[in-house]
Amino acid sequence: MEISAKPNRICSLLGIKYPVIAGGMVWCSGWRLASAVSHAGGLGLLGAGSMHPDTLEEHILKMKETTSLPWGVNLPLMYPEMDRAIKLLVRHHVNIVFTSAGSPDKYTSLFHDHGIKVVHVVSNTRFACKCQQAGVDAIVAEGVEAGGHNGRDELTTMTLVPQVRKAVDLPVIAAGGIASGQALLAAMALGAEGVQIGTLFALSQESSASQAFKDYCLSLPDTGTLLTLRKLSPTRMARNPLSVQLQEAETHGADAALLQQILGEKASKRGIFEGDLEHGELVVGQIASACGPLRTVAEIMKNLLLEYSQARSRIQSL
């Protein structure tokens, strides 16, 4: 089943069958997940944010071994060894990069000089306009429902996407709280030409997250996440002893230094990759409660397309 019979700029730009991108999530988006999403007709992304350059190179090589379909790398612009990472991408002919957490001005021209398409993640229309000025190829408009780092403006996906669509001419990809075909259809109705899905794929069988993390997040109620660390970098995570402690400390006036002390080192690795449900940072989106049961990427994609088709038919019949 095709999502649209008309040309789609996101599918054409990225060379994919369906306008569905898997978020490049720390400790979740290794080569198994990225390859599975690409094989299912979407775009798989490696999450470079939790990989040292040597590890990133290993995953790039595995991607090249396991698929000839399009895929890319999510590279936060705060990556500590950016020059080395860029050399890896160029040497291995990675031609799609999703960037975030920084100014798109800094590296977009350099990526383009090496034939790399650039998609940048934004949280408001001002940043979207800066992306257009910087010459990126597409924009991800990510609402505050998303897991992990969020924009300080805390705009929801339904609020953000139509305003970004109005502000720029570039193809727009919606992200944040999308885990169903109905949400995919809604994103298209708001002006997006594709979606980036994080939590749903983070809680798939192919995700490299620990089983303990997956089971815990799949058991969350709809109120099971919270947004905290506003004095550091606003971050959505599952409710657990660590996140509640952080929220309470912030409520009582804790400064950034104290919050960082409570968080500790390698908190997301402890929570997501090692499965420490009490002392780890369990980064996950607000839609986690709707993502069960645990499924393969192929099953997830099949269900997304079926739900999309059914939702579109229902809307057309109204």
> What does the DSSP assignment read for 66-120?
H--S-EEEEEETT-TTHHHHHHHHHHTT--EEEEESS-TTTTHHHHHHTT-EEEE
Q: How confident is the model at residue 3 (pLDDT cuts 50, 70, 90)?
A: low
- The predicted pLDDT at position 5 comes to 46
In the DSSP assignment, the letter for residue 252 is T
Residue range 47-59: mean pLDDT, rounded: 96
Distance CA 201, CA 35 (A): 12
Sheet with 20-22, edge to edge strand ranges: 20-22, 194-197, 172-175, 138-142, 117-122, 96-100, 71-76, 44-47
Mean residue pLDDT across the chain: 96
- The predicted pLDDT at position 7 comes to 60
Question: Tokens 């369906």 — which residue?
Answer: 18
Residue range 42-69: mean pLDDT, rounded: 97
Distance CA 112, CA 95 (A): 9
How do residues 244-273 score in pLDDT, each as one tens digit? 999 999 999 999 999 999 999 999 999 999
